[in-house]
Chain A
Amino acid sequence: SYELTQPPSVSVSPGQTARITCSGDALPKQYAYWYQQKPGQAPVLVIYKDSERPSGIPERFSGSSSGTTVTLTISGVQAEDEADYYCQSADSSGTHEVFGGGTKLTVL
């Protein structure tokens, strides 16, 4: 079955830039979506269609795509950004969705 691969953890100091990657063979063909999840809460969409930002999401959140890897970038990280981040996409047929394993962002 199709898989998306994320690093388990990323750590940054406040004000620095955090980059979280997500790799998958079908990513050149399928859009990626990024979610932020804080403990005890439902996921919140922060990036859609690789690089679009929903209304209400701070500009420090951005997304990019290159080949089989998509990247979530958080510029000027704040303490409130500490959370789990998940990428989501679909397999090459576009019918089955899949999530990456998640990345825990720690703000030092």
Chain B
Amino acid sequence: EVQLVESGGGLVQPGGSLRLSCAASGFTFSSYWMSWVRQAPGKGLEWVANIKQDGSEKYYVDSVKGRFTISRDNAKNSLYLQMNSLRAEDTAVYYCASGYEYWGQGTLVTVSS
């Protein structure tokens, strides 16, 4: 059974940092592009970043470029999102997704003082 389990969310003050993790199992993690997608409360889905199978290519939505870093560890079947200089508008449920088919259940990030 395919599983993607996000962790690391929580409450953080504006300007702070968080590192999200996504543990993958049940499929060949190293064969898939991986993505982070977020959803602000009551809003639609927003693609945040993605990373190629070997980590050699990474792309970001303009609003997080220079603040967020996506990475992966294929030996640990894990995906990460380092989020720095967080803003109130980064408040959202963050999902990790493999290719297009598999999604985790999400982890909530709240940026507030």
**CB distance B101 to A99 under 8 Å?**
no
How many pairs of A and B residues are in contact by the CB < 8 Å rule?
43
29 pairs, CB–CB < 8 Å, chain A vs chain B: A1-B62, A33-B100, A35-B45, A37-B45, A42-B95, A42-B105, A42-B106, A43-B95, A43-B103, A44-B103, A48-B101, A84-B44, A86-B44, A86-B45, A88-B47, A88-B100, A95-B57, A95-B59, A96-B47, A96-B59, A97-B35, A97-B47, A97-B50, A99-B37, A99-B44, A99-B45, A99-B47, A100-B44, A102-B45
**CB distance B95 to A102 under 8 Å?**
no
Count the A residues whose beta carbon is within 8 Å of the partner chain — how many? 21
Query: Is B11 located at the chain interface by the 8 A CB criterion?
Result: no
Report B56-74 residues with CB < 8 Å from chain A CB.
57, 59, 61-62
**CB distance A43 to B62 under 8 Å?**
no
Q: Is chain A's interface secondary structure helix, strand, loop, or mixed overall?
A: strand
- List chain A residues, Cβ under 8 A from B103: 42-44
Query: Is B46 located at the chain interface by the 8 A CB criterion?
Result: yes
